[in-house]
A and B are shown apart, each in its own frame.
Chain A
């Protein structure tokens, strides 16, 4: 199963529409979290509204691949659980977010080897095909459960006074 998530904010119909097409084209089992404010008719995926953290975690764990917007919540969850993740950043010019910070974040995290970024729908489709054809688990990055110890220590000092 592929789990598609667009986070807790605005609709992201470009991603949902593309994944709906991809589900049909390749006959994939896809569950998508779609915004209540989206008017899009999803035909080829199981679609869900806002989901509780508990249900989210369950779908996240069950999925073989996560496809998402470039939101930090999703990115961190994928890294902690060493999940295969492909992101498509929300773009300001398409009114998908209030700024282009997702593009910038995706670029920086990709440079650190922590993120698999699709620049457009064509790349997204290519990357999903690539995932289906060769599943190499050894390349998935992983992080621990907490922030860097230097940040934790500094905050600990801030709050002990």
Chain B
């Protein structure tokens, strides 16, 4: 079983790394938006991709093709992401290849699911929130990254 774990740098990435014990029994590869972050997952395969967001459409397109290339060659069985935009793109690509996809909404979204998270509920196989009061029939709650 091979898992591709994707996120933007910053808080999203720190949250992704806190899920590490979930990947103990599988092969996990990481993907983020700055090469220097590879030092935080020493010994694991790391892919650097261009960043993009709603206000940087060109970045999103570059990001899409970069992720597409990795998914085509690496062929993961699962894609998991903590966001933000690059993670959502990875979910769409996963969907194209019938790969199981998981979205963990950032703990920073404590009053409502993020916009990307709402889109993810339509694309991903599993969506988690980190706040109990945001749980519903599409979004699961099983605790948060703080522990």
Contacts and interface: CB of A to CB of B under 8 A. Distances in A.
Interface in A40-78: 52-54, 71-77
A114 B146 CA distance: 10
Contacts, number: 124
Nearest to B2: A159
A146 interface: yes
Contacts of B143: 147-151
B100 A73 contact: no
A64 to B, nearest CB: 22
B73 interface: no
Contact of B142 (A75, A79, A144, A151): A151
B18 A101 contact: no
Interface of A: 7-9, 52-54, 71-77, 79, 101-102, 104-105, 108, 114, 143-156, 158-161
22 contacts: A53-B36, A71-B10, A72-B11, A72-B12, A72-B14, A74-B11, A76-B14, A77-B14, A105-B108, A108-B110, A114-B146, A145-B18, A146-B20, A147-B19, A150-B143, A153-B22, A156-B21, A156-B25, A158-B78, A158-B102, A159-B22, A159-B26
